[in-house]
């Protein structure tokens, strides 16, 4: 689901108004309330930027993972055969087999620690392979 900044900001403002009302009833100074407001607003904006970037970073592979259940895709060859986008296919056939196996296992729902164990790699190596491939795909698909 897409991040809705306006909706999240409305929720934040309602929460903040209720919190400030409670703080005033407890006798907290206006300076302290303003400092808390400024601090919480900075955190809200930091979270907003994170979720917007997360949304922007969605890749073709993530969409494939969400949109299609591919129980018949058991091998790298089956995975490559299932790619309909010709440019993406040309990019993927140039990628090393280990990276493609990593992606295939991820699309099948395996968590990174399990993928690392299956392929005899450490988790950082799995993350790096996936990240590098995402960058290539993002560059290709614009």
pLDDT in tens, 59-80: 555 665 665 554 556 788 888 8
pLDDT tens, position by position, 19-64:
999 999 999 999 999 999 999 999 988 888 877 776 655 555 566 5
Determine contact, residues 16/40, Cβ cutoff 8 Å.
yes
Domain borders along the chain are 5-56, 63-141
Residue pair 59/137 in contact by the 8 Å Cβ criterion: yes
Query: How many whole angstroms separate alpha carbon 126 and alpha carbon 111?
Result: 10
Q: Whole-prediction pTM value?
A: 0.48
Cβ atoms within 10 Å, residue 72: 8
């Amino acid at each position: 689901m897409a991040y809705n900044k306006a909706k999240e900001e409305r929720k934040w403002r309602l929460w903040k108004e209720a919190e400030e009302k409670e703080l005033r009833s407890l006798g907290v100074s206006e300076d302290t309330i303003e400092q808390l407001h400024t601090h919480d607003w900075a955190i809200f904006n930091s979270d907003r930027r994170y979720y917007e970037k997360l949304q922007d970073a969605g890749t073709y592979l993530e969409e494939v993972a969400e949109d299609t259940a591919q129980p018949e895709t058991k091998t790298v060859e089956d995975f490559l055969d299932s790619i309909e986008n010709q440019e993406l296919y040309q990019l993927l056939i140039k990628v090393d087999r280990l990276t493609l196996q990593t992606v295939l296992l991820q699309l099948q729902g395996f968590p990174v620690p399990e993928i690392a164990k299956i392929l005899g790699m450490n988790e950082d190596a799995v993350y790096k392979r996936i990240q590098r491939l995402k960058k290539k795909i993002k560059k290709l698909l614009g």
